[in-house]
Chains A and B, each alone.
Chain A
């Protein structure tokens, strides 16, 4: 099974800061990597799909990059409403298999 290592597990930053979260796969997953935001008491929300594609309606301050085993998620200018936990998730299509990273809890400093 493919393992996903996400870091850091928690992060404190100030409004306006650039925030970066990384996710490493245990083997090559091409660009089959998605990023989600989860706010307390809510279902997760898709932000980035296939490593670097911004989901419709998601603010452009969110971005993703990477391929193979190493991936990065960035918030270019942190806003108060971005306080949440962020998860990476890899998938294979044949057969369909999914794995989440451990999550990164983002707080305002």
Chain B
């Protein structure tokens, strides 16, 4: 069974760093792109970027370039999304997803709350 399991909810202060994770199982992790999607409270889905764990080829949506870093460790089938300095506007639910043209599997989401 294909699964993407994300790390738990986080509460952080502005300026702090954060790295959240997405662990894949039940399929060849290195053979599919993984994407990250942001959903701010009460808002729609926003595409952040994607990574191909097989060779770590990474692409960012223009809106998120320079704001986050996407990485992966294929030895443990895990993708990451990280911030070096969080802002209150980073408060959102973040989803990872497996890409096969369509998005056929999603993680359960990681809620990130940034508040002083």
Question: What residues of chain A have their CB less than 8 Å away from a CB belonging to chain B?
Answer: 1, 32, 34, 36, 38, 43-46, 49-50, 55, 85, 87, 89, 91, 93, 95-103
- Asked if residues B46 and A100 are in contact (CB atoms below 8 Å), the reply is yes
B contact face: mostly helix, strand, loop, or mixed: strand
- Asked if residues B62 and A96 are in contact (CB atoms below 8 Å), the reply is no
A contact face: mostly helix, strand, loop, or mixed: strand
* In the complex, residue of chain A having the shortest beta-carbon distance to the beta carbon of B104: A46
- Asked if residues B99 and A96 are in contact (CB atoms below 8 Å), the reply is yes
Query: Interface range on chain B: under 10, 10 to 19, 20 to 34, or 35 or more?
Result: 20 to 34
B47 CB, min distance to chain A CBs, angstroms: 5
Interface contacts (Cβ under 8 Å), in number, total 57
Write out the residue numbers on chain B whose beta carbons fall within 8 Å of the beta carbon of A101: 44
* Segment of B64-72, B80-88, B105-113 engaged in the interface with chain A: B105-113
**Within the assembled complex, what's the spacing in Å between the Cα atoms of A84 and B78?**
30
Write out the residue numbers on chain A whose beta carbons fall within 8 Å of the beta carbon of B102: 34, 46, 49-50, 55, 91
Q: Mark B46-68, 1 if CB is under 8 A from A, else 0.
A: 11001000000001001000000
Write out the residue numbers on chain B whose beta carbons fall within 8 Å of the beta carbon of A100: 37, 44-47
- Asked if residues A103 and B44 are in contact (CB atoms below 8 Å), the reply is yes
Top 7 A-B residue pairs of the complex, sorted by shortest distance between their CB atoms:
A43-B106, A49-B102, A103-B44, A100-B45, A34-B102, A98-B47, A102-B44
Write out the residue numbers on chain B whose beta carbons fall within 8 Å of the beta carbon of A93: 101
- Asked if residues B101 and A36 are in contact (CB atoms below 8 Å), the reply is no
**Within the assembled complex, what's the spacing in Å between the Cα atoms of A102 and B40?**
13
- Asked if residues A32 and B108 are in contact (CB atoms below 8 Å), the reply is no
Write out the residue numbers on chain B whose beta carbons fall within 8 Å of the beta carbon of A32: 101
Whether, in the assembled complex, B33 has its beta carbon less than 8 Å from a beta carbon of chain A, the answer is yes
* In the complex, residue of chain B having the shortest beta-carbon distance to the beta carbon of A9: B44
**Within the assembled complex, what's the spacing in Å between the Cα atoms of A55 and B46?**
22
